Amino acid sequence: MKLNKKTKKQFVITAQKLAVIAREKESIRRKLAITAKEKEATRLKLVVTARELKRLHNTLEKKVLQRTKDLEQIRSKSEAILASIGDGLVVVDKEGKISYINKSFEEMLGWKSAEIIGKSMVQVVPREDVNGVGVSFKERILTQVLAGQKFVADLTNPFYYIRKDKSRFPASSIVAPVILNKKIVGAVEVFRDITKEKEIDKAKTEFVSLASHQLRTPLSTVNWYSEMLLTGDVGEVTPDQKKYLQEIYNGNRRMVDLVNTLLDVSRIELGTFVVESKPTDMVKLAQNVIAEQKQQIEEKNLNFSVSFENNIPSVKIDPKLFRMVIQNLLSNSIKYTPIGGAVSISLSLDNEKNLILKVTDNGYGIPKNQQSRIFTKLFRADNVIGKDTEGTGLGLYIAKSIVEQAGGKLWFESVENKGTIFYATLPLRRSKKQQIVL
């Protein structure tokens, strides 16, 4: 059949379009083939990745299980160590609630772990001082540590813990904070029953008391005869003889003072001190002590100042005991302040109407590493031993015992080579339990 020119043209156009479509289809086919290959490659990669992930998962799981096992062993070992400690141990959180106790805690206080975990340590285990007066929440060393103090130990100031059955035992403790990210998140207290130590200490005190009583008679005899010889009551002595006799007399007087001090210590600790409490003018008492120290003040050319408030009331105390307190604090300041230094004494009332005795000096001070021992018996700081060879190391111990037995407090602030401030507080009103019983 013969096609006309127009039809031929249309046919050619159609053929060209079909060719273009064929090429496009081939291109699409090739693209689909490439996509299929890419998908297969991706699938193979995913299979490999899945296998690798499974292998890593299994490896990680094994490591986690091993680490967990190691941690469990460490925890078990730590708990075994804590449980086997002979001293009582308690851990509290920031609010003072118990989170852990060891076996010794349970045995000493009678509480089981399940009974007190989550409860307040201060409420569950009351604390009393030597007079049987309960220690308030804010005065508990646990509270002080949780409030920010780094470390508190009361090894030289025993107290009593109250058991579940309401019986009590003497104890000493150390409390330290638990710090996490520079914040206190709790505290750890380690305490021990010192009943046996107190019994031994009592036996030693009784021995010292007995020995001191026996020493007084021969010392008094030496003192009496030395005075007679020095005054010429039994005949004249040469200057050299008088010099030697004076040394004997002075040495004997130091021995008498030491024996009397030891007797005071033993009486305080044994509770045999005869107490005669009566209304006492504390200002007048302090003035009398100052008068006794006047010669030493003048010899050292000290800048001495006195500050007594006008409204100081009479206090019902034993004046002879508190004379010892004032005398020990003031004589120490004078003794350990160099020539030309400054010493001051003051009496005032605080906002709670407690009497405050304050003795300040700019003397040798107390070395920081020895401050925790300053109230212990027979202790003397290294920096003053060479400056005063006659000290006994008993004066501050006696002063602290007297003040605390009266329901007060004695403490100090000191910087070596810059001076010391001693504070003694005495409540003007005291409960019957807080009366001095020595």
Pair 358, 422: CB distance under 8 Å? yes
CA 314 to the chain's CA centroid: 34
| Residue linked to tokens 């297969």 | 40
- Output the pLDDT for position 354: 84
Long-range contacts of 161-170 (CB under 8 A, 24+ apart): 161/108, 161/109, 161/125, 161/126, 161/127, 161/191, 162/125, 162/126, 162/127, 162/128, 163/108, 163/109, 163/110, 164/109, 164/110, 164/111, 165/110, 168/128, 169/108, 169/193, 169/195, 170/194, 170/195, 170/198
Return the domain boundaries, the chain: 1-83, 85-193, 198-270, 278-434
| 301 SS3 class | coil
**Pairwise CA distance, residues 283 & 244, whole Å:** 41
Spatial neighbors of 151 by CB under 8 A, at least 6 apart, are 145, 174, 175, 176, 177
Residues in the chain with pLDDT values less than 70: 1-6, 8-9, 11-12, 48, 70-85, 150-158, 205, 207-209, 211-213, 266-275, 386-391, 429-438
**Pairwise CA distance, residues 400 & 425, whole Å:** 11
**Pairwise CA distance, residues 207 & 199, whole Å:** 12
**Pairwise CA distance, residues 190 & 208, whole Å:** 32
**Which CATH number fits the domain 198-270, given the four candidates 3.30.420, 1.10.287, 2.40.10, 2.60.40?**
1.10.287
- Output the pLDDT for position 438: 35
- Output the pLDDT for position 431: 44
Tally of CA atoms within 13 A in the half-sphere of 10 that contains its CB? 5
CA dihedral 95, 404, 153, 124 (to 10 degrees): -30
Task: Give DSSP secondary structure letters for 13-78.
Answer: HHHHHHHHHHHHHHHHHHHHHHHHHHHHHHHHHHHHHHHHHHHHHHHHHHHHHHHHHHHHHHHHHH
Q: What share of the chain is helix, strand, coil (3-state, %, to 5)?
A: 55, 20, 25
**Pairwise CA distance, residues 280 & 49, whole Å:** 93
CATH tag, 85-193:
3.30.450.20
- Output the pLDDT for position 345: 94
Task: Give DSSP secondary structure letters for 102-148.
Answer: -HHHHHHH---HHHHTTSBHHHHS-EE-TTSPBPPGGGSHHHHHHTT
| 398 SS3 class | helix
Which H helix or E strand runs over 197? helix 195-231
**Which CATH number fits the domain 278-434, given the four candidates 3.30.565.10, 3.40.50.1000, 3.10.20.30, 1.10.3720.10?**
3.30.565.10
Q: Are domains 85-193 and 198-270 of this chain identical in fold?
A: no
